[in-house]
Amino acid sequence: FDRLLSLASEGQSRAEQEDICQKLLVHGHEAVEPLAVFILDQQETPALGILLELLGKMGDPRAAAVLLEFLESDHAVLRMQAATGLGWLRARLALEALDKLEGTDPDPDVRREARIAVEEILREFPRLGTLLKHHKPVPLGDDDPAIEDEAAEIDEGPLTSGERRLLSGI
């Protein structure tokens, strides 16, 4: 965990960070508790985002309590990663907090991730949608949430070979 955090803190290669994450994901549920303890022992910095992402990807419901704590972080990236992780977990207990985040967070990226997380949870618990105050439904596909790109973000040039591999899942 220390190595991953130091790589993120130093802005090192995302590929190396992903490699470490993949190795940790192999340990699955047995790594959740040590990772949660490690995260809670750290000073809150944006670099912790990679560890929150990893915690959410582990798919263990015990991670929800830690991720919930970070919904109130001073760092937008930590709020965003916590919301994303809670969506992956489809953590019903986070629904009210995510709804509030969607309606009140000052950062538009955090609000978007909170909205997507709420939609993911509602896929599992659709009747809970009537209890929400701020949520604006977003159409979701079978696998992934739909995110609309701004016109300025769309590059009309030809795809690189790396982009083609990414799009084709290779």
For residue range 1-33, what is the model confidence (pLDDT) as tens digits? 666 666 666 665 667 667 777 777 777 778 888
Are residues 121 and 128 in contact, defined by beta-carbon separation less than 8 angstroms? yes
Q: What average pLDDT does this structure show over 111-127?
A: 92
pLDDT, tens digit (0-9, with 9 covering 90-100), for 38-67: 899 888 999 888 889 888 888 899 999 999
Is the pLDDT at 77 greater than 80, yes or no?
A: yes
Closest CA to 135 of 153, 116, 154, 152: 116
Give the span between the Cα atoms of 17 and 93, in whole angstroms: 30
What one-character DSSP code corresponds to residue 135?
Answer: -
DSSP secondary structure string for all residues of 65-109: HHHHHGGG-SSHHHHHHHHHHHHHHT-GGGHHHHHHHHHH-S-HH
Burial per residue of 154-170, b for 16 or more beta-carbon CB atoms within 10 angstroms, e otherwise: eeeeeeeeeeeeeeeee
pTM value is 0.71
